[in-house]
């Protein structure tokens, strides 16, 4: 029986559908993959908790969990609560590990009623533009994926996800999600989970590599599962 790997990216709505993970599926046919789509949490009472629980449920019996971007924190928190150790592969993770004065100021502003209203209003305006401008959608994907790797299928899928009613509902919770992402992970929980980090050359990835051991893929920007699926597959085989 094929070993099962759990996949999740926090970069919704631009990434997270089948096209996001197809290159890795093709590069690792010796594994079976289960995808978690964060758009499914649009109506959850607590988005962050729903994400953690989904990862925890899917991780039971899995050989590993593969988390991209902002999915790093909920993946670590979920696996830290398991009775058995499940290997975690973080791809270009966005993970806040300490609270800085600048970060605290940002969080304090976002947490206010006015701050939430402004942030959600900006998110609604951006969503309208995404709905009406396919090139803008492509530019947003390019923040994570090098242009040469953005396929027509990926762009079409991203456009459909932008138009998905779940995205519209998620937009109204932008402030909540930002607060969850910028809340530093508990060091005690962070220390419980062994992780393998694979990163590229984006500014965020460079900062990540400076803070934690990581395998740097020179030809990758910030989406290794799309830009270097064979390299990620090799990491998985070595790990498993």
pLDDT at 236 over 80: yes
Q: Number of folded domains in the chain? A: 1
Tell me what pLDDT residue 12 has: 84
CATH no. for residue 228? Answer: 3.40.50.1820
The C-alpha atoms of residue 18 and residue 193 are separated, in whole angstroms, by 27
Residue 136's domain comprises 3-239
User: Could you tell me the sign of the dihedral formed by the alpha carbons of 75, 80, 83, 88, in that order?
Assistant: positive
Averaged pLDDT, 35-49: 95
Contacting residues for 231 by C-beta, under 8 A, at least 6 apart: 198, 217, 220, 224
Residue 210 binned pLDDT confidence (cut-offs 50, 70, 90): very high
Name the pTM for this structure. Answer: 0.95
């Amino acid at each position: 029986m094929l070993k099962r790997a759990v996949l999740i990216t926090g970069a919704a709505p631009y990434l997270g559908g089948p096209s996001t993970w197809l290159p890795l599926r093709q590069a690792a046919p010796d594994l079976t993959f289960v995808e978690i789509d964060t758009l499914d949490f649009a109506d959850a009472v607590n988005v962050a908790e729903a994400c953690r629980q989904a990862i925890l449920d899917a991780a039971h019996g899995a050989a590993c969990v593969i988390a991209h971007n902002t999915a790093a924190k909920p993946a670590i928190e979920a696996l830290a609560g398991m009775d058995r150790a499940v290997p975690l592969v973080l791809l270009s993770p966005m993970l806040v590990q300490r609270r800085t004065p600048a970060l605290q100021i940002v969080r304090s502003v976002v947490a206010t009623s006015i701050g939430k209203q402004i942030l959600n209003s900006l998110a609604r305006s951006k969503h309208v533009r995404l709905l009406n401008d396919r090139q803008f959608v492509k530019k947003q994907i390019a923040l994570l994926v090098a242009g040469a790797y953005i396929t027509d299928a990926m762009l079409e899928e991203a456009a459909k996800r932008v138009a998905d009613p779940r995205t519209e509902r998620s937009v109204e919770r932008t402030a909540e999600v930002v607060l969850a992402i910028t809340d530093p992970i508990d060091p005690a929980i962070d220390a419980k989970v062994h992780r393998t980090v694979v990163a590229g050359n984006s500014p965020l990835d460079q900062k990540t590599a400076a803070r934690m051991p990581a395998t740097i893929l020179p030809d990758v920007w910030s989406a290794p599962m799309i830009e270097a699926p064979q390299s990620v597959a090799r990491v998985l085989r070595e790990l498993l």
